[in-house]
Structure 1
Amino acid sequence: MSLLLGPMCQHIPGKKGLTDHSDVKRLMPAKEVYIPLFAGNNTQIELLVSEGDHVFIGTRLANTKSAFPVPLYSSVSGTVKGVTKRPHNSLKPQQHLVIELDEQQEAIQAFPPMDWHNASHDELVEFVKESGIIGQGGAGFPTYVKYQKVENINTLVINAVECEPYITADYKCVMDYPEQFVHGVRILQKMAEVDTVLIGVKKTHPDLINTIREEINREHAAGIEVREVPDVYPMGGERTLIRTLLKREYKRLPGECGVIVNNANTAILVARAFEMGQAQAKKYVTFSGEGLKYPTNVLVPVGMSVAEILEQIGGFVEKQESLKLIAGGPMMGKTMVSDQIVIDRAMNAITVLKNHDEEEMTCMRCGNCTQHCPIGLQPVRIANAVKMNDAEEMEKRGAMQCIECGLCTYVCPSHIQVTENVRKAKRTLMMKARKK
């Protein structure tokens, strides 16, 4: 960590106005969905259905076989057509289960609902595990894992900040379902066994703040409080949000300082699982950016093709030679080489921008990247270690702690792709670890 810490954040134009007050478009595929059979590195999938099987919305399709297993459920009803390899937002082709839609789109209860008021801690955690809920903030980490050991936890933080430019999917989802949101927060509060819950919302969204506060008061939800946070990036990062709300620091995981953090949309999925026996089938996703004719939020089944969604909402702007399609937001998202990727369970945005690549210049040693790093790293030193292929120096400078927020690249006056250099360092260290 750098000894001379700077602001560790930066105001960035949000571009939220492109989508935050337009109606959500509810779309369906014309023929098929492609459910990604992928849940992180080194994960095996146990398929529970075969080609020709009929499935409903809520049918259990597969189990992941990893250190933190979670099941996969169907987002549509129809016929299983087999498995195919397709482009994926992991930047590597992955296996996808193909389901051909039927006309009925009939849903079943994926699992029996649970009376969470009277359930034990272990019962609550096991239920969330079997419901297949993963974090909705983008990383897709299984939700139940955070709650397995709560002895040292004293605060639950609900992240409703949505700090990435362009993205408004969480905002729209909570505004549409405030009752389910607060119900989900209460369930997570019980799972965490805490009295204090802080919901972080940007002060620039007073309508969302008021909506949540009104629902908390209506529910008489004790211990749950909305906290306004500054409109800076990356306020939605766990470390920055905890630092702002609680003035606490930690080395690796929030649990080290007594905190669990969950995304706002995750809370809604928790409420639907417990109260309706409903697995995740659809996803709010922001399609935005100056490269689209009609930026909007969509509600689509998991597994719907991005290309098909783009076609249904009006497509790209005309007379533009070069566009950049990003899975996620412009800061932390990954640039895709194909629009044949599909919406997965954790994806919250597709951003399409006009491609304005600026020529990279020599590093000015200005220190902007170090001053703005929310982790307190020295990205330029990590980048130098990458050039020298010095893995020991990469590790010494804390490359693996980088959250890839993209702020170092954003503030660099020399237009250096600093974040990408740190990503290379992380890949080098991970490969080194695998060889041991």
Structure 2
Amino acid sequence: MSLLLGPMVQHIPGRKDLTDHSDAKTLMPKKTVYIPVFAGPVTQAEILVNEGDHVKVGTKLANTKSAFPVPIYSSVSGIYKGTVKRPHNSLKPQLHMVIDLDEIQESQQAFPPLDWHSASHEEMVEFTKNTGIIGQGGAGFPTYVKYQNVEKIDTLVINAVECEPYITADYKCIMDSVETFIHGVRILQKMAEVQTVKIGVKVSHPDLIDYIKQEITRENAAGIEVVGVPDVYPMGAERTLIRTLTKREYDRLPGECGVIVNNAETAILIARAFEKGEALSKKYVTFSGEGLKYPVNVTVPVGMVVSEIIEQLGGYIEKVETLKLIAGGPMMGKAMVSDQISIDRAMNAITVLKNENYEEMTCMRCGRCTAHCPMGLQPVRISNAVKANDAVEMEKRGAMLCIECGLCTYVCPSHIQVTENVRKAKRTLQMKAKRK
């Protein structure tokens, strides 16, 4: 970490006006969904259905194989056709479960609801494990894991900041389901065994702040408060948000300073699971950017192909040589080589931009990347270590701590792809660790 810390944040034009004033559109595939098995490090699963089986919305399809296993449920009803490897937003082909839709679209209760008012902590954690809910902030970490040991936890933070430009999916899903949202926050509050809950929302969304406050008052939800946070990036990063709301720091994980952080949509999914026995089947996803004719939020089944969604929304803009399709937002998202990827359980945005390439210049040694890094790293030193193929220096400079927020690249006056170089450093260190 740098000894001289700068602002560690930056205001970035949000462009959220492209999508936050229109209603979300509900779309369905014409024929097929491809549900990714991949979730974070998980690439394998025990498939629980056979080819030719009829499944419903809510049918358990598989259990992932990992240290933190979670089940996967069907997002549609139809005929299970087996598995296939397809393009994925991880940038590697991944296993997908294929379902051809039927006309009925019949649903079933995925699991019996649980009365969270009377349930014990252990019962709530086990129930959450069986729901298959993973974090909706993008990382896809299984939600139940954060609550297994809450002995040192005293604060729950709900991340409704949505600091990435263009993305408004969290904003829309809360505005559409604020009562469910607060129910989910109360359930997570009990599971965390805390009195203090802070919901972080950008001050640039005063309507959302007021809406949540009204629902907290109506529900008489003790200990829960909504806090307006500065309109800067990356305010939605766990470390930055915790620093702003609690003035605390930690080494590796938020639990070290007594905090659990969950995304806003995660709270909504938790409420629907506990109160209705619903599994994650549909996703709010922001489709935005100057490369689309009609930017808008959509609700779509998990596994719907991005190209089909864009086609139903009116397609790409015309008379542009090249476009850049990003899974996520323009800062932390990853540029895709194909629009044949499917919506997975943790995806919240697809951003399509005009492809503008800037010529990279020599580093000016201005220090802006270091001053703005929310982790207090020296990204240019890591970037230089990559160019020198010096893995020892990469590790020494803390490359693995990088959250890949993209701010170092954004503020670089020389247009150096600093973030991408740090990503390369992380991949180098991961491969080195595997060889040991």
Structure 2 length as normaliser, TM-score? 0.99
Shift of 1:351: 0.2
Any residues of structure 2 matched to 1:196-215 within 5 Å, and which?
Answer: 196-215=196-215
Which residue of the partner structure matches residue 386 of structure 2? Answer: 386
Q: What letter corresponds to residue 122 of structure 2 in structure 1?
A: D
On the 8 A contact 2:40/2:139 being kept in 1, the answer is no
Q: Deviations over 1:310-364 (max 9, x none)?
A: 0000111110001000000000000000000010000000000000110000000
1:421 aligns with 2:410: no
Q: Distance in 2 between matches of 1:13 and 1:232?
A: 9
Which residue of the partner structure matches residue 289 of structure 1? Answer: 289
On the 8 A contact 2:361/2:414 being kept in 1, the answer is yes
Q: Distance in 1 between matches of 2:214 and 2:42?
A: 44
- Identify if the C-alpha distance between structure 1 residues 263 and 290 changes in structure 2 by more than 3 Å, giving closer, same or farther: same
Q: Distance in 2 between matches of 1:236 and 1:372?
A: 15
Number of positions where the alignment pairs a residue of Structure 1 with one of Structure 2? 436
Which residue of the partner structure matches residue 232 of structure 2? Answer: 232
Identity of aligned residues (%): 80
On the 8 A contact 2:160/2:264 being kept in 1, the answer is yes
Shift of 1:83: 1.1
Q: Deviations over 1:362-398 (max 9, x none)?
A: 0000000000000000000001111111111111111
Q: Distance in 2 between matches of 1:285 and 1:346?
A: 10
Secondary structure class of the residue paired with 1:103: coil
Which residue of the partner structure matches residue 257 of structure 2? Answer: 257
1:145 aligns with 2:107: no
Q: Distance in 2 between matches of 1:236 and 1:318?
A: 34
Q: Distance in 2 between matches of 1:152 and 1:102?
A: 49
Q: Distance in 1 between matches of 2:85 and 2:159?
A: 34
Shift of 1:43: 4.0
Which residue of the partner structure matches residue 310 of structure 2? Answer: 310
Which residue of the partner structure matches residue 133 of structure 2? Answer: 133
Q: What letter corresponds to residue 225 of structure 2 in structure 1?
A: E
Which residue of the partner structure matches residue 82 of structure 1? Answer: 82
Which residue of the partner structure matches residue 371 of structure 2? Answer: 371
Q: What letter corresponds to residue 331 of structure 1 in structure 2?
A: M
On the 8 A contact 2:378/2:397 being kept in 1, the answer is yes
Shift of 1:82: 1.5
On the 8 A contact 2:42/2:64 being kept in 1, the answer is no
Q: Distance in 1 between matches of 2:84 and 2:375?
A: 40
Q: Distance in 2 between matches of 1:120 and 1:58?
A: 25
Q: What letter corresponds to residue 248 of structure 1 in structure 2?
A: R
Q: Distance in 2 between matches of 1:50 and 1:28?
A: 24
Q: Distance in 1 between matches of 2:37 and 2:11?
A: 37
1:106 aligns with 2:132: no
Shift of 1:39: 2.1
Secondary structure class of the residue paired with 2:152: coil
Q: Deviations over 1:202-233 (max 9, x none)?
A: 00101100111111000000000000000000
Which residue of the partner structure matches residue 279 of structure 1? Answer: 279
Q: Distance in 2 between matches of 1:42 and 1:164?
A: 26
Q: Distance in 1 between matches of 2:42 and 2:76?
A: 27
On the 8 A contact 2:43/2:95 being kept in 1, the answer is no
Which residue of the partner structure matches residue 13 of structure 1? Answer: 13
Q: What letter corresponds to residue 334 of structure 1 in structure 2?
A: K
Shift of 1:44: 2.4
Secondary structure class of the residue paired with 1:156: strand
Q: What letter corresponds to residue 303 of structure 1 in structure 2?
A: G
Secondary structure class of the residue paired with 1:194: coil
Which residue of the partner structure matches residue 398 of structure 1? Answer: 398
Which residue of the partner structure matches residue 119 of structure 1? Answer: 119
1:168 aligns with 2:168: yes
1:347 aligns with 2:347: yes
Which residue of the partner structure matches residue 29 of structure 1? Answer: 29
Tell me which moved more, 213-222 or 386-395: 386-395
Q: Deviations over 1:220-247 (max 9, x none)?
A: 0000000000000000000000000111
Q: Distance in 2 between matches of 1:310 and 1:393?
A: 43
Which residue of the partner structure matches residue 47 of structure 2? Answer: 47
Q: What letter corresponds to residue 299 of structure 2 in structure 1?
A: L
Q: Distance in 2 between matches of 1:226 and 1:403?
A: 25
Q: Deviations over 1:41-65 (max 9, x none)?
A: 3542100011100000000000011
Q: What letter corresponds to residue 61 of structure 2 in structure 1?
A: L
Secondary structure class of the residue paired with 2:303: coil
Q: What letter corresponds to residue 59 of structure 2 in structure 1?
A: T
1:431 aligns with 2:431: yes
Superposition CA RMSD, Å: 0.6
Which residue of the partner structure matches residue 242 of structure 2? Answer: 242
Which residue of the partner structure matches residue 336 of structure 2? Answer: 336
Secondary structure class of the residue paired with 1:117: coil
Shift of 1:87: 0.5
Secondary structure class of the residue paired with 1:4: coil
